[in-house]
Amino acid sequence: MVDKARRPQSAAGTIDGQAGIRDVDESRLSGCGHNRLWILSGRRVANRGADILAVVTTRVFRALITFGGLVALAVALSSCDVGGLHPIFPNPVSPNGQDIYNTYLGISVPAIIIFLGVEAALLWVVLRYRRSTQPVGYVPPQVHGNTPLEIVWTIIPLIIVLAIAGYSFVELQKDFQPISNQQMTVIVSGHQFGWNYEYENGVVVHQEGTLAGDVTPFVVPTHTLVKLDFRGTDVIHSWWVPAISGKTDAVPGYDNFSWLKIDQVGTWRGECAELCGVGHSTMQIIVQSMDQSDFNRWMAQQKTASPSASPSASPG
């Protein structure tokens, strides 16, 4: 049976400012792929494929602009201090901090390269094989499996993940091995909400949490390997100065340790990295390094003031 030929349908519209009835072929009103979209006057509005391409291009452009802005913001923030902390890239001043930074770069750089490669391939496929570039009724090849390809894209990510795990494990184990050649030992005790630093001669520096100003610095001499023995007196705390070392937990009933060796004079900030109560945000950490002669004078002042009292003023 032969279908009846399409018959023009009447439709209302406004043409050149005048209302009227026109005969419109319904087959010309809409379509997909290469079909044109027409309004009642018969004028062409746009090619739907071109419209889709324009939308995709605009969104990709906006995404690239946003990404570029975020990268620029990250670079800008990394070059300045926010409360003494570098928000993106730390500047390591201790060998263990440098090792952690190198590990961070060793993982992040390949990850960024892979991410950009995958996104570029995805964008190329979307634009290269969009519907508007294909013939009407085109059906792409139906692939139901490719065993060699599936093996390859399973093994390669597995190798990458194992390499990252092995590299990270070796680096972190190297930095957290017990040491016995330290030149100084300091007991670091975490409590709600502050830190105590007890030197071998009995001098104790108290860092009581506050948001009103800076806490009293924990002072160490330069070019000196200092072992830090960590203890928790109430709940778990975590001592973290990004430029010096990784996070080290102070756990009640468990002796933990870390170390530092700073070869330059300066001051570095950190904070408690373990949620420990309502005053957690006040647990600042300030580490100050000074030359051995200046450190000896500072220590003599503390012993003269009181063997177990915190300094009344920050060291000069």
Tokens 């065993």 label which residue? 147
Lowest mean pLDDT among 143-147, 158-162, 220-224, 305-309: 305-309
pLDDT score recorded for residue 189: 96
pLDDT score recorded for residue 84: 45
For residues 226-239, give the mean pLDDT: 95
Q: What confidence tier does 306 reach under pLDDT thresholds 50, 70, 90?
A: low
Tokens 């090792």 label which residue? 99
For residues 149-156, give the mean pLDDT: 92
Residues 197/272, Cβ–Cβ less than 8 Å:
no
pLDDT score recorded for residue 35: 41
Q: Give the CA distances from residue 223 to residues 12, 71, 198, 205, 285, in Å, rounded to whole numbers and listed in that order.
A: 89, 36, 20, 21, 21
Lowest mean pLDDT among 24-28, 121-125, 162-166: 24-28
Residues 148/156, Cβ–Cβ less than 8 Å:
no
pLDDT surpassing 70 at residue 1: no
Interatomic CA distance for residues 161 and 225, integer angstroms: 34
pLDDT score recorded for residue 315: 58
pLDDT score recorded for residue 73: 64
Instruction: Give the closest residue to 285 by CA, choosing from 229, 234, 244, 315.
Output: 244
Other CB atoms within 10 A of residue 219 CB: 24
Instruction: Give the closest residue to 184 by CA, choosing from 296, 38, 75.
Output: 296
Instruction: Give the closest residue to 40 by CA, choosing from 53, 54, 58, 21.
Output: 21
For residues 168-181, give the mean pLDDT: 82
pTM score, two decimals? 0.65
pLDDT score recorded for residue 226: 95
For residues 185-199, give the mean pLDDT: 96
Higher pLDDT, 9 or 245: 245
Q: How open is the CA angle 249-253-256, to the nearest 5 degrees?
A: 35
Interatomic CA distance for residues 67 and 72, integer angstroms: 9
State the average pLDDT for the chain: 78
Interatomic CA distance for residues 257 and 226, integer angstroms: 11
With residues binned 3-state (H G I as helix, E B as strand, rest as coil), the percentages for the chain, rounded to 5, are: 35, 25, 40
pLDDT tens digits, 195-216: 999 999 999 999 999 999 999 9
Beta bridge partners of 267: 288
Interatomic CA distance for residues 35 and 60, integer angstroms: 25
Map out the domains of the chain as residue ranges. 9-42, 184-305
Tokens 């004028």 label which residue? 43
pLDDT surpassing 70 at residue 176: yes
For residues 275-303, give the mean pLDDT: 94
Q: What confidence tier does 283 reach under pLDDT thresholds 50, 70, 90?
A: very high
> Looking at 77-132, which runs of residues are DSSP E strands?
none
Contacts of 84 (CB under 8 A, 6+ apart): 267, 268, 269, 286
For residues 5-30, give the mean pLDDT: 44
pLDDT surpassing 70 at residue 229: yes
pLDDT score recorded for residue 104: 85
Q: Give the CA distances from residue 46 to residues 33, 38, 43, in Å, rounded to whole numbers and listed in that order.
A: 12, 8, 9
User: Which of helix, strand or coil describes residue 284?
Assistant: strand
pLDDT tens digits, 22-80: 444 444 444 444 444 434 334 444 455 566 666 767 777 777 777 777 666 665 555 45
Q: Give the CA distances from residue 170 to residues 99, 165, 229, 306, in Å, rounded to whole numbers and listed in that order.
A: 10, 9, 22, 44
pLDDT surpassing 60 at residue 145: yes
Instruction: Give the closest residue to 246 by CA, choosing from 232, 231, 257.
Output: 257
pLDDT score recorded for residue 137: 83
> For the chain, what percent of residues have pLDDT higher than 70?
72
Answer whether CATH 2.60.40.420 is correct for domain 184-305.
yes
